[in-house]
Structure 1
Amino acid sequence: MVDNFPFYLCLVVAILLLIMLANKIRVAYPVLLVLAGLLISLVPAIPNLHIESELIFIIFLPPLLYDAAWQISWKELWHWRRVIGSFAFVVVFLNALVVALAANYFIPGFSLALGFLLGGIVSPPDAVSAGAILKFVKVPKRISSILEGESLLNDASSLIIFRFALIAVGTGQFLWHQAALTFVWMILGGIGSGLLVGYIIMKMHKFLPTDANMDIVLTLVTPYAMYIIGEEIGSSGVLAVVGGGLLLSNHRLNFLSSSSRLRTVNVWESLSFMLNGLVFMLIGLDLPQITAGLERVTMISAVGYGLLITLVLVVTRLISAYGAVVVTLIARNYITVADTRNPGVKGPFVLGWAGMRGVVSLAAALSIPATLKSGAEFPERNLILFITFVVILTTLLVQGLTLPAIIRRLNLTDPDYDLPEDEMYRNLRRQLNQLALKYLNENYQDKLTDHPVLRQMAQKWEANQAESDATSLAEDSKTIYREILNEQRAWLAKQNDEQNAILEEVIRKHLLFLDLEEEKMRFL
């Protein structure tokens, strides 16, 4: 580990450069990272990395799920709950079933239990890949919300299928009544334990004498505590993190100070950025480990099986996306659904095509034990691992590279919101100014003459009320203001060098204030 430390540092720098390149050429960065890892792994002098599945499940998965739970809109998640639930559970199960049947029929030596094991591994799409792609194209909010919501839950459902299939392969039998009870406990126990841990953490933030640094550390510990406790009680650690994360996200104003919220967001953005980059690079770097045990079948046959399973997954997801539309159109006659309009063919196609696989699939495949409890070699383990790698690589390359062009070609319109996001922001800002002025005039009118600061605040809100859209969004004004802020920073730095009578801590406070002023311009 210590001997390879310079290599790991170079790997981090390479990830940063590749993500910069991906942003420059407007390609989803997971695609470039996987390809780069693949090419690096072919270099003879490169250290051979052995990736443990526990490394991904314990170190990477909890914080990434927790961050996703904090980022997602609960309002949108609840609004589209039926569609999200169908994609996260029903569609995942259908994918696993179709993969099981296809593997059992086309791949020699694959039983239905092994097919379900493979199906549970490759059925969940990866949220990071879709999110990275959607940065470069505009899609209706409903599509991005459904994809985000699905990604929060489909890992749990696929891992539940994987766990049951693993038991069936190991024991040679499958008891439906036991499986049903276990399934219910994994869902209820996972969500319940996550909510309980989240509630305890929330009270710790609120009643203990913490500061911003302590709050940040607690947020870093929280997802791991949720995941480990959920797994230890035999339920779903993934659902524990999702349930607890959603609880804390929706109550963040009640237990975190403004300073803690501001600094926590910065820390988590950097952490998620680095973790996501590392996991996709590791997928490519793991090629030697994946191909090392491939002995029973030829490379050409193994690649063919991988492409076959990929095709099955893509077609099944597309059919399921349109099937969900048909079910919704029928169900609206009997129950209240989120949208009664016919979504057409464009939206479901985007949902169906956005099915890139990622790190959870690889981690699940790597977690297959080398031997059964009897001591016999686990059947087809190496082939399953290789097929999983082919599915991840193919979906990232084919779907990941074509999805932006498809979205632009379809020219989707947003049927749910009439106003663009920036106009919504300006309207809310005016209403907030109105609220502030009304409250000040109704409660502290007599203080305005005696307190110049309050009077200046009132004048600022009145000016904001009267400003035109062009004034509030003028890029020239922002450029000039940035130049002024840079002049002020340079002056402060000069004062710090020349004036020994001024504490540097005071200089830094002013520099922080200038940074906050520049940050505010993003929202003006």
Structure 2
Amino acid sequence: MTTITVILLMLLAVVVSAMIVRASPLPLPLPLVQIALGAAIAMASSYRVELNPDVFFLLFLPPLLFLDGWRIPKDDLLRDKGTIIEMAFGLVICTVLGVGLLLNWLIPAMPLAVAFALAAVLSPTDPVAVAAVARRVPIPKRIMHILEGESLLNDASGLVCLRFAVAAAMTGVFSLPQAALTFVWLAVGGLGIGYVVTRTITLAKGRFAARYGEDGGSQILISLLIPFAAYLAAEHAHASGILAAVAAGITMSYAETTGSALATTRIRRNAVWDTVQLALNGIIFVLLGEQLPHIVDGAAEAVSESGHHSPWWLLVYVLVLNAALALMRFAWVWLSVRFTMFSRRSDGSAFRPGLRLIGAMSVAGARGSITLAGVLTLPVVMADGSDFPARDLAIFLAAGVIILSLVVANTLLPWLLRGLVLPPEPSAARHADEARVATARAAIRAIEARQHELSEGQADAALYAQAASRVMGLYRERIDGRDDGATSADEARRYEEAETALRLAGLAAERDELFRLLRRRKLEDEVARRLIREIDLQEARYRG
């Protein structure tokens, strides 16, 4: 019962943290508020959560990585693939080697393998945390997409490096040729298994739904189970479950392009996954806060073993570690951005990124939930039953890096982004206009065919013709507005914006009236729920 109570308290802390951030006049980073609430729970309760690293890894990482792979914009990922790959793999390897050696030199009590393990979990970045702290000044889409792509890939590469480092720490043996072969199998096997598992499940559920109908709740539950299925299948085959979860998410995004799922299923599923992401990310940080008092004690003990008896050395370690990570990232971003990103403008002229752009992308590399989840999965004991060396110190340093990197991003990123000029992006509006014209013409053809099908042999065929004419008129207005040139397209877009605003106002009034009738008991609950849901779906459509 106590465990259930603590879990409920953590979920409540996630909710309260979001409310505090929204209500606060100050730009508080959500992860820091969650860590503080977790520490408050620890101080108010004598019960401490005992973490099982394997269970923790399974419960938290697969769904988060799956969702990243599912939702990341693929076109933008491919457009800047050179920059993303350099930062996701090259920077990770340099971070593991450079920071690992620095940690081993700075803290002799931390074995080299453990230092490499800590450096590996510090290499992934978290764009979700950056987006949360940069709400005051939106991050340009091009930069955000690069950060998302980098995060998706360096999550996988960093956690794979963590696996090698932990294995070396547990066994005391590391063979480079054997590690290379193992890495190939981890990567190829993990990616392949993630694809096969997801493809098989989506095809099976699609055929079942086509034959027997679609149940939205079951479809949502299947999507929640896919990352765990891919992860467990890959781990059973001794491949990378992390890469399998990422591959499963990317495969899911392509499987969804068939549009076979019902609109209501997609709306509900997105809401469920948003909730899952909020809960998992939040619980990770709340859990860190809950573990923090015990971690600080263990870290202070590890510091004393290094010959430094003052606990203030913990702060020195965190500052040195953050400085090393920042300098390494700035240098790597400078090289990557300068030679691969924005190398040419659309008119063919060269574009040279300035220090503000490089600084913004460097500061935006804050650490977050994946780093925290990875470091919390360090083994508690060695194979011989002894304590894992410097585990609490590693967790404390990771927590310090997360907190300080978020504070720095919260302070500097809005200033660096304000007024930042980037090369113009390809016109998304033109492609959207072309797509709307194409879809309108397809809709008119389908309406005409459906009208003839419905009115054939009917005495009131004129009724169907009138209804079809009214519906097709809306699509013809869209086509006429898009085919008259740039000025007409702009006018049509403004007209649609005005029409959308009026429709939203009408929908809001309809919903308010339904609630009023429901409160006065002039409408049955079931009927009210159905009508309100219809209005909600229409509003979701117009809000895009």
* TM range, smaller chain: 0.7 to 0.9
Q: Which residue of 2 aligns with 1:244?
A: 248
In structure 2, distance between residues paired with 1:330 and 1:441: 47
* Alignment length (residue pairs): 509
Change (3 A) 1:507 1:110: closer
8 Å CA contact 2:14, 2:286 repeated in 1? yes
> How far is 1:487 from its partner?
4.7
Contact 1:51 1:286 in 2 (8 A): no
Give the superposition deviation at 1:195: 0.5
Offset at residue 386 of structure 1 (A) = 2.0
CA distance in 2, matches of 1:490, 1:111: 64
Please give the alpha-carbon distance, in whole angstroms, between the structure 2 residues aligned to 1:302 and 1:494: 59
* Residues 160 and 450 (structure 1), Cα distance of their counterparts in 2 relative to 1, 3 Å cut: same
Per the alignment, in what secondary structure is the counterpart of residue 205 of structure 1?
helix
Return the offset for 1:236: 1.3
Offset, 1:186? 0.8
Matched residues in 1 for 2:476 and 2:152: separation?
A: 43
How many angstroms does 1:489 deviate by? 1.5
Letter in 2 for 1:432: T
Aligned counterparts of 2:426 and 2:134: Cα–Cα separation in 1: 18
Give the superposition deviation at 1:104. Answer: 2.7
Task: Give the match for residue 381 of structure 1.
Answer: 391
The change in CA–CA distance for 1:339 and 1:197 in structure 2 (over 3 A counts) is farther
Runs of 5+ consecutive residues of structure 2 not aligned to the other structure: 304-309, 456-460, 482-490
Name the CA shift for 1:280/1:430 in 2 (closer, same or farther; >3 Å): farther
Select between 145-154 and 133-142 the one with higher mean Cα deviation: 133-142
1:273 counterpart (275, 278, 298): 278
Rounded to whole Å, the distance in 1 between the matches of 2:340 and 2:160 is 26
Map residues 507-522 of structure 1 onto 2, 5 A cutoff.
507-522=528-543
Instruction: Report the secondary structure of 2:2's partner residue.
Output: coil
Alpha-carbon distance between aligned partners in 2 of 1:339 and 1:250, rounded to the nearest angstrom = 35
CA distance in structure 1 between the aligned counterparts of 2:318 and 2:509, rounded to whole angstroms: 58
Identify the residue that residue 262 of structure 2 maps to in structure 1: 257
Runs (5+) with no aligned partner, structure 1:
333-337
136 and 393 in structure 1: CA distance in 2 versus 1, 3 angstrom threshold:
same
Q: Is the 8 A contact 1:356 1:392 kept in 2?
A: yes
Structure 1 residue 483: deviation in Å?
A: 4.3
Task: Report the secondary structure of 2:402's partner residue.
Answer: helix
- Aligned residue number for residue 484 of structure 2: none
Q: What secondary structure, in the 3-state scheme, does the structure 2 residue paired with 1:314 have? A: helix
The CA deviation string for residues 107-163 of structure 1, in whole angstroms up to 9 with x for no partner, is 223444333222112111123212323554333322111111122121221122122
Q: Is the 8 A contact 2:85 2:150 kept in 1?
A: yes
Are 1:412 and 2:421 counterparts? Answer: yes
1:458–1:46: structure 2 CA closer, same or farther, 3 Å change rule? farther
Q: How does 1:277-316 map to 2 (within 5 A)?
A: 277-294=282-299, 295-297=301-303, 298-316=310-328
Paired amino acid for 1:18: S
Give how far 1:192 is off: 0.4
Residue 224 of structure 2 aligns with which residue?
Answer: 220
Equivalent-residue separation in structure 2 for 1:92 and 1:150 (angstroms): 10
Is the Cα–Cα contact under 8 Å of residues 139 and 412 in structure 1 kept in the other structure?
no
Specify the alignment match of 1:363 in structure 2.
373
Contact 2:88 2:153 in 1 (8 A): yes
* Corresponding position: 1:60 with 2:72: no
Q: Is the 8 A contact 2:199 2:255 kept in 1?
A: no
Instruction: Give SS of 2:108's match.
Output: coil
* Residue identity in the other structure for 2:12: V
Q: Does 1:396 align with 2:406?
A: yes
Asked whether the equivalents of residues 293 and 382 of structure 1 are also in contact (C-alpha less than 8 Å), the reply is: yes
Asked if the contact 1:140/1:415 (under 8 Å) is kept, the reply is: no
- Cα distance change on mapping 1:318 and 1:269 into 2, 3 Å: same
Matches within 5 A, 1:108-257: 108-208=108-208, 209=212, 210-254=214-258, 255-257=260-262
Task: Note if contact 2:342-2:423 (Cα within 8 Å) is conserved in structure 1.
Answer: no
Give percent identity, aligned residues only.
29
- Residues 113 and 342 (structure 1 numbering): CA distance in 2 closer, same or farther, change over 3 Å? same
Could you say if the C-alpha distance between residues 450 and 123 of structure 1 is closer, same or farther in structure 2, counting changes exceeding 3 Å? Answer: same
> Displacement of 1:243 after TM fit?
0.7
Instruction: Please say which of residues 55-64 and 130-139 is displaced more in the overlay.
Output: 130-139
- C-alpha distance in structure 1 between counterparts of 2:351 and 2:187, whole Å: 32
Question: What is aligned with 2:502?
Answer: 477
Which structure 2 residues correspond to residues 487-502 of structure 1 after superposition, within 5 A? Answer: 487-490=512-515, 493=518, 497-498=521-522
AA in 2 matched with 1:179:
A
> Per-residue deviation at 1:510?
2.5
Judging changes above 3 Å, is the alpha-carbon distance between structure 1 residues 301 and 331 closer, same or farther for their aligned structure 2 residues? same
Q: Which moved more, 1:234-243 or 1:301-310?
A: 301-310
Quick one: structure 1 residues 441 and 346, their matched pair in 2 at CA, closer, same or farther if it must change by over 3 Å? Answer: farther
Contact 2:448 2:468 in 1 (8 A): no
Task: Show the counterpart of 1:74.
Answer: 74
Normalised by the length of structure 2, the TM-score is 0.84
Hey, what does 1:335 align to over in structure 2? none
Cα distance in 1, alignment partners of residues 238 and 34 from structure 2: 34
CA shift, 1:306, in A, is 2.1
Conservation of the 8 A alpha-carbon contact between 2:284 and 2:373: no
Give 1:282 shift: 1.7
The question of 1:460 aligning with 2:483 is answered no
From the superposition, tell whether residues 473 and 351 of structure 1 become closer, same or farther in structure 2 (CA, over 3 Å).
same
Q: Tell me which residue corresponds to 1:319.
A: 331
CA-based RMSD of the aligned residues comes to 3.2
Amino acid at match of 1:403: L
Instruction: Give the residue type in structure 2 aligned to 1:29.
Output: L
**Paired position in structure 2 for 1:19:** 18
Assess, with a 3 A threshold, how the Cα gap between structure 1 residues 132 and 54 changes in structure 2: closer, same or farther. Answer: farther
C-alpha deviation, 1:455, in angstroms: 1.9
Tell me which moved more, 135-144 or 223-232.
Answer: 135-144
Matching residue's letter, 1:199: R
In structure 2, give the amino acid aligned to 1:489. Answer: L
Aligned-partner Cα distance in 2 for 1:257–1:371: 49
Inter-partner Cα distance in structure 2 for 1:16 and 1:136: 21
Cα drift, residue 287 of structure 1: 0.3
